[in-house]
Structure 1
Amino acid sequence: MRRTARILTYVGVWLLCAVLVGLVLFLTSSRTVELASHDAVVSPDLSGKAVLDAGPILPDVRVDSGRVVGVDVQLGKTDAKSTDELVQRYALLASQPEGQLAKIGHAVESMAVDALVRGAVLGLVPVVVWLLIGPTRRRELAGRFQLRTGVVAVVLAVVLGIAVWQPWREPATPVGGGDWVSLQEFLGPDVPVPDELDDVQVRGDVTTSQTRRLVESAVDTYDTSKEFYAAAEEHAATLDLRVPEEGDTVVVFVSDRHDNIGMDPVARAIADAAGATAVFDGGDDTSTGSSWEAFSLDSVSAAFAGLDRWGVAGNHDHGDFVSDYMSDHGWTMLDGEVVEGPAGTTLLGVDDPRSSGLGSWRDEVGLSFAEVEERMADAACEVEGGLVTMLVHDANLGREALNRGCVQLVLGGHLHNRVGPEPTVGENGSTGYRYTTGTAGGAAYAIALGSKPKHEAEISLITYRDGHPAGIQWVDIQTNGVFEVGAYVELTYPPLTVQ
């Protein structure tokens, strides 16, 4: 019993030290992340508030976190060309915040885990030191220990702790000045504020009319975007889509989002209504492939969480940032290797040769579009029985594979308009189809971020059955929010033609 009690005491001391040290480490830690097109520093606290420090021009924002743990987010540099452009970005991101909230949550969880691990290790130090000293040496030290010395040591430790803490020091006044006030109070009674923003508080110089106008514009953009996409998401869930038959596997296909995060929950609602269990991403998720566009990749990743996910980078996704980032967030990014796709079928894809400016094929650089097209055909023809699906940004990369009769379905985007499905009879008599989906982001040009689509937006649904692509259905949403559902087109493969 005595030994058990001693062990439990050691464990209790270790747990207490581990928790205290871990808490201190957690509350003094921070992470730098790409957030809302900024380099941002995320720091946890126990305020129960989420505070966004926007800098000297724009007011800071505060909301309840809904938890004991709060967070302070300090926004750093951005590539926005103007303050107005930046504010509009904030408004659109606030209307679809899931991706950004997930990133902050992941950063806080990561800091908590790191702090607990380090706290657990450091919490062992006093226990190990106690055991190493041993009972004999501890008695000797206790005999030499004088009460006066102990009191002085404790007082000195307390004084040093208070000196470091400095509880009497007032919090630093924000650059913009001012106290926390409700958003409605900040804007004034003449500006209507959506009900869901009632709990939002801001801190800034309310006498700055330009700042107030910027925030007023942001609220209007937020309200317009939230209303349009919320209505579209609700309507999408009720669309009369083809119901999958037993044995069917449905894949939702998006391409050319071009930063329009507003369409992501709409696309997911369509996927759920159609019974989709997987997603293909045909690329051009961004306008430039820059790291500030990570918010778009966060959004699409959050929207399709829980589904099997495959993707490629488009010609606007310059460099390797997009592919690496998507891969780190659970996507299988295709790189010229045949992999297992939906329903156990074969799947081949590669980033657009123009996306990096190098025309890379795996580890080889300097290949042209035509050369990559040939390489894709060679890889497809090496698959026993022929390749089932080729996913590319531009369906032209699959022309040679179709001409040889080595692929059943080539999927692409890039054109911002739907083409197909078009059948092709290959040299060996096999039938393959080529299909180009429209822009999922409703992009008229290279960027589609806005309070509603700038162009007709399209989501496609690919059905697999018995190891083959069985059919395609598309869903369009007009710029006025009206949906159009295309007829389900069956893909037929004549007997003995797929070799």
Structure 2
Amino acid sequence: MVVVALAVFLAAFLWLFLGGSRTVVLASHDAEVRPTLGGAAVVHTGPLLPDFRLSTGNAVGVDITLGKTEANSPEELIQRYAFIASDPTAQLAKIEAVVRDMALTAGIRATALALVPVAVWLLLGPHRRGELFRGLRTRRGLIGFTMLALLPMLLWQPWERGEDTQEQQRGWVPLDAFLSGFSLPDGADAVEIRNSPTTLGTKRLLQSALDTYEKSKDFYDEAEADAADLDLRQPEEDETVALLVSDRHDNIGMDRVARAIGDAGGASVVLDAGDDTSTGEPWEAFSLDSLNRSFDDYERIGVAGNHDHGPFVVDYLADLGWTMLDGETADVDGLGPVLGVHDPRSSGLGDWRDQTGLTFAEVEQRLADQACDAEDRISTLLVHDTNIASEALDRGCVDLVVGGHTHVQSGPDPVVGPDGEVGYTFINGTTGGAAYAIAVGSKPRRDASISLVTYRDDRPAGIQWVRLRTDGRFVVSDYLPLVLE
């Protein structure tokens, strides 16, 4: 029975695992992922762009069919592929997690199926089993056994063949042969491309994409290495440092640079002031995956910006373990009470949006009322646009307001309340180096800003900002103390 159970398990596992598929958002597409035993990762890009294949280095492979996405042209789409490929860690981890979960699910179901013959064997008992075995010697028993043996073959139907497709009639060609005479980046020689009349017209697109890939990878690799060596202020034993990012606008290249700055400055918390995307659509999940993977061992606090339209960004990050502030106060270890609210211009976000007709000014008043009515003084008010926290500062109810939105770093600027309470406002700028609503490219389009906020005794004590210029050089500010008394 052990042999039978193992045979059933292996057959069922292979059937369930290799016959299953999952639909996920991958590389800005709705993508169908199917595990294979071919030892290759095959990406089907559709009728207009070439398919790619790369060895996985083991027996398990994956077949990925890219579906719907948002792009204005094939040129824009293939450049986006190149940018994502320059830092694919989060997307590779997502594929691995999906295949691993499919294997686990198939294993559990295969185990259940493998237990069926064992259960039947035990339920029949030795007497009934003897009768059945003796019955096999009869004509009726022989017919029944033959029908039972044929059942898997009838379900499988190996004789059925589909028509030969155009895809199957095209061979795989090494990328260096397809782009002969063009200099390829390291590692690209392992990529194969499916040759076809359509792909013959895409050579110029591929060459442009590889150029974007190489420039982007080189720029952010160098920036990450330089960031790790920056001379940043180190926190004392009783201090906690939070890394402030904002307005990434899909620039995943800056995520590892921001992480290197956070590590160099002793940060353990990340504060995200929103606009991680350009439209808030599911095709931008690659940006959120990258952000989360870069800071998966930090305490992660965030709000949505005005470009993070709808609930997708908030729900996605919350499912990944982020604390997405929606008008409530979170007591963050080392930072004290942190209050945050999603930008009201992001449709469908926050409890206050359930009440129609609220203006930006009305949300500003409600936020100030909540900050001033809090049992403990709010140490940090995390928003996307700091203008929405002006009233809370003017009333003297907040130590520090941090945000982004303007894409220009500003502050910290002191604000004195009616009873002499001092609070500060600070605008981070754009971590993605975005000039407009999207920052995808081989390098930042304007100075990329990351800030380190130091806390002592659960109150903000100082800020040090870092900028990565478009020429790859870093500018680091002095440590700017925050005098709250």
**Contact 1:255 1:284 (8 Å CA) reproduced:** yes
Q: Name the residue aligned to 1:138.
A: 129
Q: Which amino acid aligns with 1:272?
A: D
**Contact 2:344 2:353 (8 Å CA) reproduced:** no
Q: Name the residue aligned to 1:3.
A: none
Give the alignment of 1:69-88 within 5 angstroms.
69-88=60-79
> 2:325 aligned to 334, 339, 344, which one?
334
Q: Name the residue aligned to 1:5.
A: none
Q: Which amino acid aligns with 2:368?
A: A
* TM-aligned CA deviation for residue 344 of structure 1: 5.5
CA RMSD, Structure 1 to Structure 2 (Å): 2.2
**Contact 1:56 1:175 (8 Å CA) reproduced:** no
> 1:160 aligned to 154, 170, 182, which one?
154
**Contact 2:304 2:346 (8 Å CA) reproduced:** yes
Cα deviations by residue, 1:10-41 (Å, 9 ceiling, x for unpaired): 6x654553344233211111111111121110
Q: Name the residue aligned to 2:256.
A: 265
**Contact 1:49 1:69 (8 Å CA) reproduced:** yes
Kindly tell me: are residues 342 and 436 of structure 1, through their superposed partners in 2, closer, same or farther at Cα, counting changes over 3 Å?
farther
Give the alignment of 1:95-174 within 5 angstroms.
95-146=86-137, 148-149=142-143, 152-153=146-147, 156-157=150-151, 159-160=153-154, 164-166=157-159, 173=165
Q: Helix, strand or coil for the counterpart of 1:77?
A: coil
Kindly tell me: are residues 290 and 175 of structure 1, through their superposed partners in 2, closer, same or farther at Cα, counting changes over 3 Å?
same
Q: Which amino acid aligns with 1:164?
A: Q
**Contact 2:311 2:348 (8 Å CA) reproduced:** no
**Contact 1:359 1:367 (8 Å CA) reproduced:** no
* TM-aligned CA deviation for residue 360 of structure 1: 5.3
Q: Which amino acid aligns with 2:29?
A: H
* TM-aligned CA deviation for residue 123 of structure 1: 2.1
1:220, 1:388 → 2: CA distance? Answer: 46
Give the alignment of 1:14-413 within 5 angstroms.
14=5, 16-146=7-137, 148-149=142-143, 152-153=146-147, 156-157=150-151, 159-160=153-154, 164-166=157-159, 173=165, 175=167, 178-188=170-180, 190-205=181-196, 208-343=199-334, 345-356=336-347, 361=352, 363-413=354-404
Q: Helix, strand or coil for the counterpart of 1:410?
A: strand
Q: Which amino acid aligns with 1:329?
A: L
Cα deviations by residue, 1:283-313 (Å, 9 ceiling, x for unpaired): 0011111111111111111111211101111
**Contact 1:55 1:176 (8 Å CA) reproduced:** no
Q: Which amino acid aligns with 2:226?
A: H
Q: Name the residue aligned to 1:6.
A: none
TM-score, with structure 2 as normaliser: 0.94
Q: Which amino acid aligns with 1:347?
A: V
2:166, 2:83 → 1: CA distance? Answer: 25
1:448, 1:244 → 2: CA distance? Answer: 32
Kindly tell me: are residues 362 and 340 of structure 1, through their superposed partners in 2, closer, same or farther at Cα, counting changes over 3 Å?
farther
2:465, 2:190 → 1: CA distance? Answer: 40
Kindly tell me: are residues 109 and 402 of structure 1, through their superposed partners in 2, closer, same or farther at Cα, counting changes over 3 Å?
same
1:464, 1:383 → 2: CA distance? Answer: 20
Name the stretch that deviates more: 191-200 or 351-360.
Answer: 351-360
1:413, 1:171 → 2: CA distance? Answer: 56
Kindly tell me: are residues 177 and 82 of structure 1, through their superposed partners in 2, closer, same or farther at Cα, counting changes over 3 Å?
farther
Q: Helix, strand or coil for the counterpart of 1:460?
A: strand
Name the stretch that deviates more: 103-112 or 50-59.
Answer: 103-112
Q: Name the residue aligned to 2:452.
A: 461
**Contact 1:358 1:365 (8 Å CA) reproduced:** no
2:392, 2:152 → 1: CA distance? Answer: 75
Q: Helix, strand or coil for the counterpart of 2:226?
A: helix
**Contact 2:306 2:343 (8 Å CA) reproduced:** yes
2:239, 2:58 → 1: CA distance? Answer: 42
2:420, 2:117 → 1: CA distance? Answer: 77
Name structure 1 gaps, 5 residues minimum.
1-8, 495-499
Identity, in percent, stands at 55
**Contact 2:335 2:460 (8 Å CA) reproduced:** no
